[in-house]
Amino acid sequence: MLEIRNLHVSIDDGTTMRPILRGIDLKVKAGEVHAIMGPNASGKSTLAQVLAGRETYTVTAGEVVFAGDDLLEMAPEERARAGIFLAFQYPVEIPGVANIYLLKAALNAVRKHRGEPELDAMDFLALVKDKLKLMEMDQDLLYRAVNEGFSGGEKKRNEILQMAVLEPRLAILDETDSGLDIDALKVVAKGVEAMRSPGRAIILVTHYQRLLNYVVPDYVHVLVHGRIARSGGRELALELERDGYAGIEAPASGNLAGIAA
Amino acid sequence: MTTAAYELDDLISQGYQHGFFTDVETDAVPRGLNEDVIHVISAKKNEPPFMLAWRLKAYRHWLTMTEPHWATVKHPAIDYQDIVYYSAPKSMKNGPRSLEEVDPELLRMYEKLGVPMQERELLAGVAVDAVFDSVSVATTFKDKLADLGIIFCSFSEAVQAHPDLVQQYLGTVVPYTDNFFATLNSAVFTDGSFCYIPPGVRCPMELSTYFRINAKNTGQFERTLIIADRGAYVSYLEGCTAPMRDENQLHAAVVELIALEGAQIKYSTVQNWYPGDKDGKGGIYNFVTKRGECRGNDSKISWTQVETGSAITWKYPSVILRGDNSVGEFHSVALTNHYQQADTGTKMIHLGRNTRSTIVSKGISAGHGSNAYRGRVLVAKSAAGARNYTQCDSLLLGDRCAAHTFPYIEVKNPTAKVEHEASTSRIGEDQLFYCQSRGLSAEDAVSIIVNGFCKEVFKELPMEFAVEAQKLLGVSLEGSIG
C-alpha cells in the first residue's frame, strides 16, 4: 500500500537547509499496523507530516508510492481524498467553524472523490452519532468550534473520531497517546483498534510503548537521527521500554532496516 | 511555507465576478456643480420648493467645507467639477407602470446579478426597489404593503406623494451641515429609497434595494430615509454590485433611520462594489453617512454590514440612543484585498437612560489591503445606567496587509459600563494544512476559516442575505446542521 524509498527531507531554518530525515525505507501493506518509535527530534513527526503533505518540509531525495501513485506529487487534500489520514499531535483550533461542519465537509470531499453521493444531513448525523458512541464523546462536541476550548484529551479523541468517520486506507497517528490519562488512552486505543481491518494500514508514531499494550503492532521501527535504526516485532517495543533508546545507534550510512513485510 | 503563501495569494486574488457594462442611453446634465445644476436636478425631479431650498442651503454650506482627511485612507484628489451629478436611463422618461415596461436590458442585468424580480421575488418574499444609477426602475409589492399602510417607494416618488413626511423627517438625523460628503449629498442627491411603517405594524417581508453604479463618471448620491413609527418593525436589506470600470467613481450616500417609541429597525447591507484591479487601479470611492436615531423610548436600531467591495470604504453606521432603554447594535465584516482601503466602524451616542449598545467588528485584510476599525462610544451625562460592549477582531491573510483599531470612548456618567475587547490573528498555515489534510481544497479551507471568523456577524443577517454574504467571501457557509 505504502512504499517509502530512500526518503530525505530537510527543513529551511532561514539560512540553511537542515536535514531531518536521512534515508528512510519503509513498506507498509494493507492490514498491517506499524509503530514508529524513537527519541525526541529523531524525525518521527516529520515523517508523519511529510506523508500527509506538509509543505514546511522539503523532500530532497527519495520517493513515496501510495497505492501505485507518486504520493509526493499530490497536494495534501488529494492525499486525504485518496485515503491518507493524519491524526495531529497538536490538533489545530478553528474558531467559529462547528466541528460537525468540518467533519461533514471532509467526508463529502472524500466521498465525491470516490464517486459516491454526498451524505445528507440526516444520514450524516446518524453516522457520526455511531462513531461518537465508540469514542465515548458527548454530542455537544459536534457543535463546538473545531478544537476550540477542547481539553487535551478531547482534542485527541476528536482526531480519532474524524478518522472513524473518514475511514481512511492509511491512518497515521502522530503521538495520539501523548498527554492522555489512562482512561482516555484506553478509549483512544479502542477507537484505533476498531479501525483495524484487512483493507487498512495504520502507522502509530509514539514515544512510549504503553499505547502498544492496547493496540498491538505487527512491526516496530526505531527512528534515530532521521534513519530507521532497528526494526522488529512487538518485542522490540518492550525492549525499548526496558532499556531506553540509549543503546540504539543511528546507522552510519545506507539503511539497515528496510523490513520487507 | 513559501508555496503555501503563494497559494493563499492565488485564492485571494480572484477576479471581480460582476464586471459587465449595460448599454442604456442616459440623460445626463453636464459635468460640474453649481447652483444651476441643482436647479436642474430639482426641476427634472419636479420637486416642491422646500426640497430645492434645502438643496441650495446644503450646497452653500458645502462651499464652506473642506474634504476630511483624518481617515487612514489615501486617494488622489477628487475633482468635484469633473463629475456628472445627474443621469437617468432614457427609457425612464415616462416611467414604467409595470415590469413589462422596464427596459429589458436592465432586467437582463438584474438577472445576471441574481436580483429576484418577477416571479422569483414572490418565492423569495422580497420586495425590490431597484436603483439603476439614479432613478428607481421598478418597485414591487407596493400594493401588498400599501394594504398595511406601509409606504415603500423611491425617494423621488415619496417627495411627490408624501411631501409632508419627507419634510418632517429629512435631515433630522443627518443634518445638511453634518459632514463634507453628507452635505454634498444633501445638495445633489438624485434618488434612493423611502420607507414608512405606521404605528404598530410589523412589516411582513424584508425590504430590499439593489444599488448599482453604471453610467460612466456618474457620482452616485443616494438618499434613504426609513421611519418606523411607534411600535413598528422593519427589516431592510441593501445590496450592491457594480460593473468593471477603470476610473474611480465617487459614491456619497446618506441613510437616515428613525425609530419612534418601541419601534425596531434592522438594516443589513452587503456591499460589493468594484474594488479596483489587482494593482489598485480603478474602483469605487465609497464615502457614506449612515445614522439612525432611537428617538423614542424602548426603540432599537441594528446595523449589520458585510463590506467586501470598493477601493475606499469610509463608513460609520451609527446610532443615537435618545430614548430611554433604547438599544443600538452594529455588526460588521469588512474585507480588504489587493489595494483596497477600509476605514469603517460606528458611533454609539448614549443620551437616554439605560441605553445599551453592542459593537462586533470583524476586519479581514489580505494582499496589500488596509483595514481600520474606528469607533466612538459616547455616554452623555444624561445616560445613567448606559452599557456598551465592543469587540473588534482582525484577521490577516498574508504579510503585506494592515489592520488598525481606533476606539474612542468618552464616558460622562459614572453609572455607565463600557467594555472593549480586541484581537488580531493570522490565518495560520497550520489551520490551512489541517483542513487540507481532511480533504478540503485550499480554497475551501480559506473559505471556512474566514466564515468561521465572521460567524457572529453572519448570524445577524436575514437568511437570504446570509447566502449572498457567503458567496461574497467565496464560500459555502455552515449548513443547517452546523
Q: Give residue B230's Cα distance to chain centre.
A: 25
Q: Which residue of B has its CA nearest to A109?
A: B439
| Three-state secondary-structure class, residue A26 | strand
Q: Which amino acid belongs to residue B73?
A: V
CB pairs under 8 A between A and B: 101
Q: Which residue of A has its CA nearest to B431?
A: A92
- Confidence (pTM): 0.76
Q: Residues of chain A whose C-beta is under 8 A from some C-beta in B?
A: 12, 52-56, 75-77, 79-81, 85-86, 88, 91-98, 100-102, 104-106, 109-110, 113, 121, 124-125, 143, 145-146, 162, 166
Q: How far is A5 from B133, CA to CA, in rounded Å?
A: 65
* pLDDT, position B121: 41
Q: Which of B152, B316, B321 is nearest to B224 (CA)?
A: B152
Q: Give the number of domains in chain B.
A: 1
Q: Which domains does chain A have, with CATH numbers?
A: 2-243 (3.40.50.300)
* pLDDT, position A7: 95
| pLDDT tens, N- to C-terminus, chain A (261 residues) | 999 999 999 998 888 889 999 999 999 999 999 999 988 889 999 999 999 999 889 999 999 999 999 999 999 999 999 999 999 999 999 988 999 989 999 999 999 998 999 888 888 889 999 899 888 888 888 899 999 999 888 999 999 999 999 999 999 999 988 888 888 899 889 999 999 999 999 999 998 888 888 899 999 999 999 999 889 998 888 888 888 887 776 665 444 444 433
> Has residue B44 been placed in a domain?
yes
* pLDDT, position B74: 85
> Has residue B481 been placed in a domain?
no
Q: Extract the C-alpha cell encoding A1.
A: 500500500
Beta bridge partners of B336: B365
Spatial contact of A26 and A221, defined as CB atoms under 8 Å apart: yes
Helix axes A152-166, A182-195, angle to 10 degrees: 10
* pLDDT, position B225: 96
Q: How far is B232 from B200, CA to CA, in rounded Å?
A: 5
Cα–Cα separations (whole angstroms), residue A206 to A178, A180, A191, A234, A243:
8, 12, 16, 14, 16
- CA–CA min distance A174, chain B (Å): 13
Count CB neighbours of A74 within 10 A: 17
- Low-confidence stretches of chain B (pLDDT < 70) are 1-28, 88-142, 209-219, 240-248, 278, 280, 464-465, 467-468, 470-482
- Which residues on chain B are in Cβ contact (under 8 Å) with A101? 448, 478-479, 481-482
B263 touches A: beta carbon within 8 Å: no
> Has residue B456 been placed in a domain?
yes
> Has residue B482 been placed in a domain?
no
> Has residue B14 been placed in a domain?
yes
Cα–Cα separations (whole angstroms), residue A232 to A235, A236, A237:
7, 6, 8
Count CB neighbours of B161 within 10 A: 12
Across the interface, do B481 and A77 touch by the CB < 8 Å criterion?
no
A179: left (phi over 0), alpha (psi -120 to 50) or beta: left
- CA–CA min distance A144, chain B (Å): 9
> Has residue B208 been placed in a domain?
yes
Spatial contact of A187 and A162, defined as CB atoms under 8 Å apart: no
Spatial contact of A25 and A4, defined as CB atoms under 8 Å apart: yes
Spatial contact of B314 and B286, defined as CB atoms under 8 Å apart: yes
Q: How far is B395 from B388, CA to CA, in rounded Å?
A: 23
Q: Which residue of B has its CA nearest to A93?
A: B431
Across the interface, do B482 and A85 touch by the CB < 8 Å criterion?
no
Q: What is the ipTM of this complex?
A: 0.92
Residue B243 structural domain: 2-472
Return the H-helix or E-strand segment holding B165.
Answer: helix B163-169
> Has residue B477 been placed in a domain?
no
User: Interior CA angle at B446 toward A96 and B281, to 5°?
Assistant: 120
* pLDDT, position A256: 46
> Has residue B418 been placed in a domain?
yes
Q: Which residue of A has its CA nearest to B440?
A: A77
* pLDDT, position B98: 55
- Which residues on chain A are in Cβ contact (under 8 Å) with B479? 101, 104, 121
Spatial contact of B422 and B439, defined as CB atoms under 8 Å apart: no
Pairing of strands B341-350, B284-294: unpaired
When CB atoms are compared, the residue of A12, A95, A109 closest to B440 is: A109
When CB atoms are compared, the residue of A75, A121, A145 closest to B452 is: A145
pLDDT tens for B115-151 read 544 433 433 344 555 555 444 444 556 677 888 999 9
Return the H-helix or E-strand segment holding B209.
Answer: strand B206-212
Q: Extract the C-alpha cell encoding B164.
A: 409632508
Across the interface, do B482 and A95 touch by the CB < 8 Å criterion?
no
